[in-house]
Amino acid sequence: MVLYNFMSSVKTTSHKTSATAFKSGFSSPANFFNTLRAFQGVDWSRAEKTHAHSLFKRMALDVPAYRDFLRANHLRHDAVRTTKDLASVPVITKKNYLWKNPFPDLLWHGSVQSPYVLTATSGSTGKPTYFARSPSIDEQSSLIHELIFRSSSLKKNESTLVIVCFGMGVWIGGVITYQAFELMGRRGYPVSILTPGINKAEILKALENIAPQYKQIILAGYPPFLKDVIDEALAQGIRFDKNRTLLLFAAEAFTEHFRDYVAKRVGIKNPITDAINIYGSADIGTMAFETPFSILARRLALSDKKLFADVFGGITKTPTFAQYIPQFVSFEAPNGEILVSGDSALPLLRYSIGDYGGVYTFNELIERYKTHGVDLLKEAQAAGISDSVYKLPFVYVFERIDLATTIYGLQVYPETIKEVLLNKSFVDCLTGKLTLITKYDENHDQYLEINLEQKPKKDIAKVLASELLAEIIKNLREKNSEFRELSDFLGKRAEPRLVFWPYEDPLYFKPGIKQPWVARPS
Helix (H) or strand (E) holding 121: strand 117-122
Closest of 172, 143, 100 to residue 289, by C-alpha: 143
What was the pLDDT predicted at 16?
A: 33
SS3 (DSSP) at 430 = strand
Tell me the pLDDT of the chain averaged across its residues.
90
Over range 73-88, report the average pLDDT.
92
State yes or no: pLDDT of 35 exceeds 70. Answer: yes
What is the C-alpha separation between 305 and 350, in angstroms, rounded? 32
How deeply is 167 buried, as exposed, middle or buried, from its count of CB atoms within 10 A (0-12, 13-18, 19+)?
A: buried
| CB-CB contact of 471 with 423 (8 Å) | yes
pLDDT, tens digit (0-9, with 9 covering 90-100), for 406-452: 887 777 889 899 999 999 999 999 999 999 999 988 876 789 999 99
Phi, psi of 242 (to 5 degrees): -90, -5
What was the pLDDT predicted at 108?
A: 97
Alpha helices in 63-130 (DSSP H): 64-72
Hey, what domains does the chain have and what are their CATH numbers? 133-403 (3.40.50), 405-501 (3.30.300.30)
pLDDT, tens digit (0-9, with 9 covering 90-100), for 233-270: 999 999 998 899 999 999 888 889 999 999 999 999 99
Provide the whole-model pTM.
Answer: 0.86
Cβ burial 302-328 (10 Å sphere, 16+ → b, else e): eeeeebbeebbeebbbbbbbbbbbbbb
pLDDT, tens digit (0-9, with 9 covering 90-100), for 474-490: 999 988 877 888 888 78
* Alpha-carbon 149 to chain mean position: 16
